[in-house]
Amino acid sequence: MKTSTPATSPAPDPDRGPNQAPDNADNRVNTVPGLTPRRRAAVQVFGAVFMILGLVCLIWQTRGVLAHTRDAYLLDVGVFADAGRAILDHAPLYGEGFPSRSGFAFIYPPVAAVLFVPLTWMDEQVMEMVWTWASLIAAWLVLTMAVHRLTTVLLPGQDVTAVRCRRAAPVAGLAALGFALLFEPLQVHLMYGQINVFLVLLVTVDLLGYTPRQLRGAGVGVAAGIKITPAAYALVFLVTKRWGDLARSFAAFLVTVVAGWVFRSSDSLFFWTEEFFNSERGGGPGYPPNQALTGLLTRAGMDPDTAQTVMVPGLLLIAAVAGWAVYRLSAAGRPVSVLLVLVLAVSVSSPIAVTHHWTGVIVAVTLLAFQATVLVAGRRELWDWPTAVGTLLLVAANLSFGRLDDVDYQSTPNHHYQVFSESGPWSLSDFGVVEYLYGNMQGLAGIVCLALLCVSAWRARPVPARPATSKVTDRAGVQVESAR
């Protein structure tokens, strides 16, 4: 007979994802080495510095973001609003008949246009401000969930300090958002009013286990229905044999497809038979902001068509390696690392992945801060040098100290890829090795970080299972295992 954990026993570790190897949180709580007064003081100082600097960056960057939103035209959300208006006016979503005010095409499935209809209910400036605030909140939620998971690993007990730290995750998430706003991908997302951070939120809720158990997997499916690429995140359900989550993911995706057919059958037919197969609908491989491998190969001198052809088997290879890393990291109870592995694998292997498609790399802030805290605390059992080095490189490569309202924001120091001409030529002989490394540093850092996370996966030890268990639901809504 299954019984719940007594009130006096340690709380289950909410870092555990569903259907992963059961955690040994009960034993670990009793064996976690206590911090010496000196170590505790060092951790408190580090935490205070992180919070203060992060909140200062948050205020500084948010002021620039809001000023830009007030004074500029957000191109992409404008196209989304045009798509919503096309639904209401029965205008075509694709081709020359699409009523685009900017001249840019709508490249998402029809169901996305249906979801964009509410954008037409607001004045343009109000709509843009609402979209910007929603983007900031979405990024904060992603980071808060990651912080909560990692805090539970560092302080898994039920003592006052552990509970307070976990409850402070939303505030720490604000500080992390301040640092994340220094990331060029998130800045560009906000500059254009893009959609990627919302897709990252849907995926994060699922992968970190904050979706109600009966709905887990649906977030990935809905995200895939809006913009095909997130379907790759279902890989975690496949390799960890979470068949229920995989089925719900597929079902949610099918619901979005059917909804698109209900609202727009002709546009749906065109999208799924023609537009879906257009790998360059977001631009060509050589487009400088494209930091996927196709872009790196093209700018190294490879023919663009050849680069895309090479990446067909390359995609399969990266998927296999990422799947292995996801399996290992999931068994070790490291869902935040799993999330970053998939963000990088998807971005590196995509036909086109301009920098705002890399928005999910903001979770690297939390992993790097976690490793720094572990180092300060002297928690050797949690220290992982591949994760620390990889996330440090990734963070450094994506930093932009400009603000969106700066007159010279669109410059090479903020966007390294601007050293390349949009029209080419693209060859090492044209701009040299140094410029190649500088202009492609975001993509190259992503590849290196992905490789180091695979090293981390190889070093990771699976959490041992316990023979007698009962299921308990933690505050995040994750069913975890607890000893009888």
Length of the chain: 484
* CB contact at 8 A, 245 and 330: no
**pLDDT band (50, 70, 90) for residue 443:** very high
User: Rounded CA gap, 484 and 453, in Å?
Assistant: 35
Residue 10 confidence class, pLDDT cut points 50, 70, 90: very low
Residue 236 included in any domain: yes
Q: What is the mean pLDDT of residues 385-406?
A: 97
User: Residue 13: which residues within 8 A CB-CB, separation 6 or more?
Assistant: 23, 25, 28, 152, 153, 156, 333, 480
The conformation of residue 32, written as its DSSP 8-state character, comes to S
Instruction: Assign 34 a pLDDT band (cuts: 50, 70, 90).
Output: low
Pair 468, 484: CB distance under 8 Å: yes
| % of the chain surpassing 90 pLDDT | 76
Return the pLDDT at 28.
38
Bridge partners (DSSP) of residue 366 are: none
User: Assign residue 463 a region: left if phi > 0, alpha if psi is -120 to 50, beta otherwise?
Assistant: beta
Mean pLDDT confidence for 205-232: 96
Q: Taking 90 as the threshold, does the pLDDT of residue 475 lie above it?
A: no
Entry pTM:
0.88
Q: Does any domain span residue 13? A: no
Rounded to 5°, the CA angle 192-194-196 comes to 145
Q: Which of 44-48, 93-97, 183-187, 283-287 has the lowest mean pLDDT?
A: 283-287
Q: What is the pLDDT of residue 263?
A: 95
Note whether residue 94 is domain-resident: yes
Return d(Cα 176, Cα 53) in angstroms, integer: 9
- The residue with greater pLDDT, 164 or 461, is 461
Which residue range is the domain that position 83 belongs to?
A: 42-275+285-461
Closest-CA residue to 112 (of 207, 253, 211): 253
Does a structural domain hold residue 467? no
In a domain, 472, yes or no: no
**HSE of 317 in the Cβ direction (CA atoms, 13 Å)?**
8
Does 479 fall in a domain? no
Residue keyed to tokens 């939120």: 201
Least confident range from 243-247, 374-378, 406-410, 478-482: namely: 478-482
How would residue 18 be classed by pLDDT, with cut points 50, 70 and 90?
very low
Q: What is the pLDDT of residue 463?
A: 81
Q: What is the pLDDT of residue 279?
A: 67
> Across the chain, how many H-helices and E-strands are there?
20, 2
Q: Give me the pLDDT at residue 25, please.
A: 35
CA distances from 192 to 30, 65, 88, 132, 351 (A): 50, 11, 24, 10, 21
Which of 93-107, 134-148, 196-210, 423-437 comes out lowest in average pLDDT?
423-437
| The predicted structure's pLDDT at residue 154 | 81
Helix (H) or strand (E) holding 244: helix 243-263
Q: Are strands 479-483 and 469-473 parallel, antiparallel or unpaired?
A: antiparallel
The average confidence (pLDDT) of the chain is: 88
Total domains in the chain come to 1
Domain annotation covers residue 474: no
3-class state of residue 474 by DSSP: coil
Residue-wise burial string across 352-364, b where 16 or more C-beta atoms lie within 10 A, e elsewhere: bbbbbbbbbbbbb
Question: How many CA atoms within 13 Å lie on the side-chain side of 148?
Answer: 23
Q: Distance between CA 242 and CA 327 in Å, rounded?
A: 11
Interval 299-353: pLDDT, tens: 999 999 999 999 999 999 999 999 999 999 999 999 999 999 999 999 999 999 9
Determine which of 49-58, 273-282, 323-332, 444-453 has the lowest per-residue pLDDT on average.
273-282
Residue 156: other Cβ atoms inside 10 A:
21
Between CA 426 and CA 303 the distance in angstroms is: 9
Residues 264, 257 contacting (CB under 8 angstroms)? no
What is residue 7's predicted lDDT score, i.e. its pLDDT? 39
Residue 309 located in a structural domain: yes
Q: Are 440 and 291 within 8 A, CB to CB? A: yes
pLDDT at position 22, please? 37
| Per-residue pLDDT at 185 exceeds 90 | yes
